[in-house]
Structure 1
């Protein structure tokens, strides 16, 4: 479970001056793009579970380790790869939470028609048991709708502590929803997709087009829930721009937002952020407290992998330019 000081808003975060910290390599499964990583601290090391693919854009999940949070050594082979009908064209965009020695990994299974939020578990981050799609009939793009008919779900962030005897998961691309579980394997949406979500796109803001759950939620020092989310606007030419925000939620009323950032805390600024497979994207999926600092790991334009850091007690909002 993530430990460390958590206040709202969390930050300010400063992108590492040597980004990207990981890029495509070789001529096989990670030769095209390396991005969108989950992160967790294991025995004084940061482990990244990152998305990677060759030019075929069939995604796998790789594993890399670091003793400083910046320089990573990759394992040679992916730890999660397409093997089922529902993920035969990609295991994408992982998020990870550790509870009582078990790692719970949510990822997107892609069959080139539907994106389905899936679950896998492990005790060592290398051998994973797939448990299949969690919400096979759910469309998280409601109420605004999606261009594709049928079910669609992505992005599951599991809170590492129980609330009133239940586990909570915030999930969704398009809009953000809540699900609960008693065993961490079987999840039930709190409201059906025919009812309003917890958060939908905010017209005229940095989340005008869509919102999507980021890393696993955190518990703040005063007992509230902090949820980092990704957000996007869509330009007239059909291109998108992804940034990230933060939400504050009372666990006693977990479907209601108490507060939210009205401007992004990270946004595309560098060449890698603004040029790539899908340009103008900073997409956060990993967040850990490590060596007295917070490390936020994110994908740059669906092509490379970067990190931004925040040291509590040292970094101050008044000393940085807020995006």
Structure 2
């Protein structure tokens, strides 16, 4: 049903110039995606880490409260206070650091496969809520401009912020809309019942599961009337965690979206159909994933066994392009049709 493009992957870290001479790009992945006229525009998450030529040492970025800019900490690998069990994090002397810091960068394509990546970062971390980077953007065309929800990470926690643009050259930050701990926010491309709508994924360390919720807003800044939308299914492909991936888009059957799920060993993608007028009501979901990590660039890499999308592009002819991060390292694209995804969903009885 979902067909990977033969040019896979379409963007790799080697194609991205680093933002400064003392860092290297280790990941270009999880792009937001949108059609803008005759082009498809991606907003890529670019992960960079400090260069460290000595294999007996580890270098990692650090931003301390009150400090200006990014510091580089260097620690010997045999230091007993160092824990490198997870490739995404460094635990040193009781403190957690990220192994890399991400910024966002624009890429453009006329055919949806061959992209020209901007040589400079588009959005760099700015302010106390972004000290550890900007991650996983989702682009929504909304009322004449493009509104981008992204994960903003800092010592204060994992929050969700908005930025808007009309041309992907000039941007206006709107600030944090969901406090810690939250992520996976996808804004609907039109109001429902006169209000803006967003899917989001709060996380609680004591009760509950990492599951999908929905909220309404009169102005994109103040969110409320939260509804629980989608639960994990223990023992299934989405049994440990799940969240919104692509921006929902309207079909005759309702709001269709691609969501991600994990069973604890891999991340896959499935389809989700929400009611057209009451979008917190689920009308259908994938019993089996429509895309799982199978290709070598999906099963091997920085975070193996991962396919994760933040950008789907529905075309006028019914084609659905899915731009996804592979193993938190590179970008690939798969193609299906809206009708195929809808036909694959298992209807949900309310």
Same fold (TM over 0.5): yes
Which residue in the other structure is 2:255 paired with?
A: 225
Q: Give the gaps of 5 or more residues in structure 2.
A: 51-99, 203-209, 345-350
Which residue in the other structure is 2:303 paired with?
A: 278
Q: In structure 1, what is the Cα distance between the partners aligned to 2:316 and 2:211?
A: 34
8 Å contact 1:288–1:296 — kept in the other structure?
A: yes
Counterpart mapping for 1:53-68 below 5 A = 53-56=47-50, 57-68=100-111
Tell me the matched-pair count: 282
Which residue in the other structure is 2:195 paired with?
A: 166
Q: Give the gaps of 5 or more residues in structure 1.
A: 1-11, 137-150, 192-196, 235-239, 319-323
Of 289-298 and 62-71, more deviation after overlay is shown by 289-298
**1:46 is aligned to 2:28:** no
- Shift of residue 230 of structure 1? 0.4
Q: In structure 1, what is the Cα distance between the partners aligned to 2:316 and 2:9?
A: 21
Match of 1:211 among 242, 245, 250: 242
Higher relative contact order (CA 8 A, sep 6+): 1
Aligned residues: CA RMSD: 2.2
8 Å contact 2:197–2:216 — kept in the other structure?
A: yes
Q: In structure 1, what is the Cα distance between the partners aligned to 2:285 and 2:214?
A: 17
TM-score normalised according to structure 1 size: 0.82
Q: In structure 2, what is the Cα distance between the partners aligned to 1:266 and 1:313?
A: 16
Q: In structure 1, what is the Cα distance between the partners aligned to 2:250 and 2:215?
A: 17
8 Å contact 1:107–1:118 — kept in the other structure?
A: yes
- Shift of residue 34 of structure 1? 0.2
- Shift of residue 177 of structure 1? 0.6
- Shift of residue 97 of structure 1? 0.6
Counterpart mapping for 1:44-123 below 5 A = 44-56=38-50, 57-112=100-155, 114-123=157-166
Which residue in the other structure is 1:33 paired with?
A: 27
8 Å contact 2:17–2:120 — kept in the other structure?
A: no
The alpha-carbon distance between structure 1 residues 220 and 109, as it changes in their structure 2 partners (threshold 3 A), is same
Match of 1:17 among 1, 6, 10: 6
- Residue by residue over 1:226-275, the C-alpha shift from the partner in whole angstroms, topping out at 9 and shown as x without a partner, is 121100011xxxxx310011111113332221221110000101111011
The alpha-carbon distance between structure 1 residues 312 and 133, as it changes in their structure 2 partners (threshold 3 A), is closer
The alpha-carbon distance between structure 1 residues 14 and 176, as it changes in their structure 2 partners (threshold 3 A), is same
TM-score normalised according to structure 2 size: 0.76
The alpha-carbon distance between structure 1 residues 204 and 314, as it changes in their structure 2 partners (threshold 3 A), is closer
Q: In structure 2, what is the Cα distance between the partners aligned to 1:72 and 1:52?
A: 15
Which residue in the other structure is 2:77 paired with?
A: none
The alpha-carbon distance between structure 1 residues 27 and 39, as it changes in their structure 2 partners (threshold 3 A), is closer
- Residue by residue over 1:84-113, the C-alpha shift from the partner in whole angstroms, topping out at 9 and shown as x without a partner, is 111111100000111222110000001155
8 Å contact 1:27–1:54 — kept in the other structure?
A: no
- Shift of residue 184 of structure 1? 2.6
The alpha-carbon distance between structure 1 residues 181 and 315, as it changes in their structure 2 partners (threshold 3 A), is closer
- Please identify runs of 4+ aligned residues in structure 1 that moved more than 6 A: 312-318
Structure with a larger share of its residues in strand: 2
